[in-house]
Amino acid sequence: MFDLQSALANARFDGIAQIRELGLQGMITLRGDVAAPVLKKAATAASGTAMPGQRKAVFSDTGGMAWMSPDELLILCPYAEVTDRLEALTDALAGTHALAVNVSDARAVFEVSGPHAREVVAKLCPVDLSPQAFSPGDFRRTRMAQVAAAIWADDDQTLRIICFRSVARYVFGVLSVAAQKGSEVGYFQAG
């Protein structure tokens, strides 16, 4: 057999926050009429969670589902399970106008953690990342420096970021600059 490679092989950087590339994550893009019962049923079965509301993400122990746009969801699951879950999802949607594809390899996932995690990301994204405005359960697609990214909060001090695989090194680079020693901002109050 052969080795599977994520974009940056769990690269990490320690500064005012800790940056980690999290390795391969199972991801399925599902496009369709998210209000249709058949799609809801198939999607929740694939993710093992409830449906997320607008700009929300919901998680379980083995999966998750995020609201990407009015006709797009992102289903998260362990990398090893993505083929099976996609197959089940595709079967459940047979005859329904929808598109479900495996995008696990097209992305990279980062974790930014520590007391200054929010500040680090707020140096790069035009989004109010104060604990009052952005809390666990929220999901935001935005611009990170010069590339597209999606962000959610695991807890008050842990943010996760998804970006395209090809720009993983760039995203790791800008996060590392933003987390450089001595660059604490001190703007956010506790949540």
131 burial class (0-12, 13-18, 19+ CB within 10 angstroms)? middle
- Selected range binding another protein among 34-42, 44-52, 152-160, 168-176, rule: CB under 8 A: 168-176
From the list 12, 146, 154, 155, which residue makes contact with another protein (rule: CB under 8 A)?
A: 146
Asked if 170 touches another protein (CB under 8 A), the answer is: yes
Asked if 107 touches another protein (CB under 8 A), the answer is: yes
From the list 2, 10, 37, 61, which residue makes contact with another protein (rule: CB under 8 A)?
A: 2
Long-range contacts of 148-155 (CB under 8 A, 24+ apart): 149/125, 150/66, 150/68, 150/74, 151/121, 151/125, 151/127, 152/57, 152/66, 154/111
In angstroms, rounded to a whole number, what is the distance separating the alpha carbons of residues 190 and 42?
A: 39
Helix (H) or strand (E) holding 118: helix 117-122
Going from the C-alpha of 54 to that of each of 35, 67, 73, 138, 172, the distances in angstroms are 12, 6, 10, 9, 28
From the list 50, 148, 154, 155, which residue makes contact with another protein (rule: CB under 8 A)?
A: 148
Asked if 95 touches another protein (CB under 8 A), the answer is: no
Per-residue binding string, another protein, 17-56, x by CB under 8 A, is -------x----x-xx---------------------xx-
- Selected range binding another protein among 41-49, 57-65, 154-162, 177-185, rule: CB under 8 A: 177-185
Ramachandran quadrant class, 105 (left: phi over 0; alpha: psi -120 to 50; beta: rest): alpha
Beta carbons within 10 angstroms of residue 69's beta carbon: 12
With respect to another protein, which residue has the nearer C-beta, 60 or 187? 187
With respect to another protein, which residue has the nearer C-beta, 10 or 61? 10
Shortest Å distance, C-beta 48 to another protein: 22
Residues that bind another protein (CB under 8 A): 1-6, 24, 29, 31-32, 54-55, 68-72, 97-99, 101-107, 119, 122-130, 133, 140-143, 145-148, 164-170, 173-174, 177-178, 180-185, 187, 189
